[in-house]
């Protein structure tokens, strides 16, 4: 369900850069918002969970940033378009977009038994949501010579027998991100795909019995702040430089091979 963006706000005279982050109510998105806020970037936070989103916005405000929380379901294009409009109305600009919203299916379910609902939810969020966000945000990013960051996955470059639908969505995202880079790079937009391996977050809460932070060893696994720092590094590149693709892995990632 999409929600109407905050009303009653007026365009700001603040000249600090503005970053919009989807999936910003927890995990990588929330960590990225806080990282940007501490560096002086104004943030626009989008997710479905309004209560959690508002809490993250409060953290960003406490760090000295101006923060706007816009409850948004990225599977609805009109909601995403309204999110971008709310950003421009509030701040008058948009410099960075982090396409982060994503979900996964239940692990190790035979393909013949995987509920269609899970295939549809993963595809609508990870594929349609990424497309809708990109489509809605690109005009403003082109005006700003801004940055567009896609949060991919290790599983977007390697097969995943345990989560084939999620992996397929991230393989699609990789192809889309690199193709968009070829399309809009000449317009001055820097496009980056960040591929983290497993991260200790609440990812998996929608369909799985255990989330990543319960299933993964936090002593040897990436945490959300690691990914946030990688995203900020990519965004920090000055034109004409850009980080096209960044693989962020735990140090023992290739031991399994």
Stated as kind and residue range, the H or E segment containing 138 is: helix 129-144
Query: How far, in Å, CA of 122 to CA of 185, rounded?
Result: 28
| ∠ Cα 159 196 205 (to 5°) | 80
In degrees rounded to 5, what are phi and psi of residue 100?
A: -120, -25
Cα–Cα nearest to 49, from 82, 24, 13: 24
Residue 14: Cβ-neighbour burial (10 angstroms; 0-12, 13-18, 19+) = middle
Task: Indicate which residue of 131, 132, 154, 166 is catalytic.
Answer: 166
The verdict on whether 166 is a catalytic residue reads yes
d(CA 230, CA 226): 6
Q: Which two tokens stand for residue 252?
A: 């023992």
Residues in the chain: 257
Between CA 196 and CA 227 the distance in angstroms is: 7
Under DSSP, the state recorded for 253 is G
Whole-number Å distance between alpha carbons of 233 and 202 = 24
Give dist(CA 24, CA 204) in Å, integer.
15
| Active site positions, annotated | 166
């Amino acid at each position: 369900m999409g929600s109407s963006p905050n009303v009653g706000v007026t365009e700001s005279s603040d000249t600090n850069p503005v970053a919009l982050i989807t999936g910003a109510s927890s995990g990588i998105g929330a960590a990225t918002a806080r990282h940007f806020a501490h560096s002086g970037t104004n943030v626009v936070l989008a997710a479905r969970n309004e209560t959690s989103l508002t809490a993250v916005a409060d953290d960003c405000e406490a760090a000295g940033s101006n923060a706007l929380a816009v409850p948004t379901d990225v599977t609805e294009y009109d909601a995403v378009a309204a999110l971008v409009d709310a950003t421009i109305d509030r701040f008058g600009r948009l410099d960075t977009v982090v396409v982060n919203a994503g979900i996964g299916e239940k692990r190790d379910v035979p393909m013949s038994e995987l509920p269609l609902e899970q295939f549809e939810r993963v595809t609508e969020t990870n594929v349609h949501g990424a497309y809708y966000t990109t489509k809605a945000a690109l005009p403003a990013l082109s005006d700003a010579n801004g940055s567009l960051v896609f949060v991919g996955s290790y599983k977007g470059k390697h097969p995943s027998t345990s989560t084939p639908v999620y992996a397929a969505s991230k393989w699609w995202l990789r192809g889309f991100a690199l193709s968009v880079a070829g399309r809009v790079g000449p317009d001055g937009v820097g496009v980056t795909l960040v591929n983290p391996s497993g991260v200790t977050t609440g990812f998996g809460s929608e369909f799985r019995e255990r989330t990543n932070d319960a299933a993964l060893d936090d002593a040897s696994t990436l945490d959300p702040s690691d990914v946030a720092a990688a995203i900020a590094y990519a965004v920090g590149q000055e034109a004409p430089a850009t980080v096209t693709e960044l693989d962020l892995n735990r140090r023992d990632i290739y031991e399994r091979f």
